[in-house]
Amino acid sequence: MYISDILYKRDCMNISVADIRARLADVLNRVAYRGERVVLERRGKGVAAIVPLEDLERLEAMEEAADVRAAKRSRRERGGVSLRALKDELGL
Protein backbone atom coordinates (compact mmCIF):
# COMPACT_ATOMS: atom_id res chain seq x y z
CA MET A 1 0.00 0.00 0.00
CA TYR A 2 1.27 3.43 -0.92
CA ILE A 3 0.83 6.62 1.05
CA SER A 4 -0.98 8.11 -1.93
CA ASP A 5 -3.60 5.35 -1.63
CA ILE A 6 -4.56 6.60 1.83
CA LEU A 7 -3.70 10.27 1.64
CA TYR A 8 -5.78 10.92 -1.45
CA LYS A 9 -5.04 13.83 -3.72
CA ARG A 10 -6.30 17.22 -2.59
CA ASP A 11 -5.68 20.78 -3.56
CA CYS A 12 -2.01 21.55 -3.15
CA MET A 13 -0.44 24.98 -3.09
CA ASN A 14 3.24 25.72 -3.60
CA ILE A 15 4.74 28.75 -1.90
CA SER A 16 8.30 29.95 -1.44
CA VAL A 17 9.88 29.96 1.98
CA ALA A 18 10.35 33.72 1.60
CA ASP A 19 6.64 34.27 0.86
CA ILE A 20 5.34 32.08 3.70
CA ARG A 21 6.43 34.67 6.27
CA ALA A 22 3.95 37.24 4.96
CA ARG A 23 1.15 34.73 4.34
CA LEU A 24 1.45 32.33 7.27
CA ALA A 25 -1.96 33.05 8.83
CA ASP A 26 -3.72 32.64 5.48
CA VAL A 27 -1.82 29.45 4.69
CA LEU A 28 -2.60 27.94 8.09
CA ASN A 29 -6.30 28.73 7.65
CA ARG A 30 -6.34 27.08 4.23
CA VAL A 31 -4.70 23.99 5.66
CA ALA A 32 -6.80 23.80 8.83
CA TYR A 33 -10.21 24.69 7.44
CA ARG A 34 -10.07 23.73 3.77
CA GLY A 35 -7.81 20.69 4.06
CA GLU A 36 -5.31 22.02 1.55
CA ARG A 37 -1.70 20.92 1.51
CA VAL A 38 1.09 23.44 1.09
CA VAL A 39 4.55 22.68 -0.25
CA LEU A 40 7.25 25.09 0.86
CA GLU A 41 9.82 25.70 -1.83
CA ARG A 42 13.34 27.03 -1.78
CA ARG A 43 14.73 28.01 -5.18
CA GLY A 44 11.77 26.29 -6.85
CA LYS A 45 12.38 22.96 -5.12
CA GLY A 46 10.09 21.49 -2.44
CA VAL A 47 11.74 21.33 0.98
CA ALA A 48 8.85 20.83 3.42
CA ALA A 49 5.08 20.64 3.62
CA ILE A 50 2.28 21.93 5.79
CA VAL A 51 -0.56 19.40 5.89
CA PRO A 52 -3.81 19.03 7.79
CA LEU A 53 -3.43 17.31 11.15
CA GLU A 54 -5.67 14.50 9.89
CA ASP A 55 -3.10 13.70 7.17
CA LEU A 56 -0.28 13.60 9.70
CA GLU A 57 -2.29 11.28 11.96
CA ARG A 58 -2.94 8.93 9.02
CA LEU A 59 0.73 8.92 8.09
CA GLU A 60 1.78 8.16 11.66
CA ALA A 61 -0.77 5.33 11.88
CA MET A 62 0.58 3.88 8.64
CA GLU A 63 4.15 4.06 9.95
CA GLU A 64 3.11 2.38 13.21
CA ALA A 65 1.35 -0.41 11.30
CA ALA A 66 4.41 -0.90 9.09
CA ASP A 67 6.64 -1.10 12.19
CA VAL A 68 4.35 -3.74 13.73
CA ARG A 69 4.35 -5.78 10.50
CA ALA A 70 8.15 -5.58 10.30
CA ALA A 71 8.51 -6.66 13.93
CA LYS A 72 6.17 -9.63 13.40
CA ARG A 73 8.00 -10.63 10.21
CA SER A 74 11.34 -10.40 12.00
CA ARG A 75 10.04 -12.51 14.86
CA ARG A 76 8.78 -15.20 12.45
CA GLU A 77 12.12 -15.20 10.61
CA ARG A 78 13.98 -15.63 13.90
CA GLY A 79 11.80 -18.56 14.87
CA GLY A 80 9.67 -16.86 17.49
CA VAL A 81 12.43 -15.30 19.59
CA SER A 82 11.09 -13.84 22.82
CA LEU A 83 11.27 -10.14 23.54
CA ARG A 84 13.60 -10.82 26.49
CA ALA A 85 16.01 -12.82 24.27
CA LEU A 86 15.94 -10.10 21.63
CA LYS A 87 16.64 -7.38 24.24
CA ASP A 88 19.51 -9.45 25.64
CA GLU A 89 20.94 -9.91 22.15
CA LEU A 90 20.77 -6.18 21.49
CA GLY A 91 22.10 -5.28 24.93
CA LEU A 92 18.94 -3.46 26.00
User: How far is it, in rounded angstroms, from Cα 37 to Cα 52?
Assistant: 7
What is the arithmetic mean of pLDDT over 78-83?
72
**Residue spans per domain, the chain:** 3-90
The number of residues making up the chain comes to: 92
Pairing of strands 12-16, 45-50: unpaired
**39, 14 in Cβ contact below 8 A?**
yes
Q: Tell me the pLDDT tens digit for each residue of 70-80.
A: 888 877 777 76
Look at residue 4 and tell me whether its pLDDT is greater than 80: no
Q: Tell me the pLDDT tens digit for each residue of 36-53.
A: 999 999 999 999 999 999
Name the CATH superfamily housing domain 3-90. YefM-like domain (3.40.1620.10)
Q: Tell me the pLDDT tens digit for each residue of 16-31.
A: 999 999 999 999 999 9
**Positive/negative CA dihedral, 54, 60, 63, 64:** negative
Q: The whole model's pTM is what?
A: 0.62
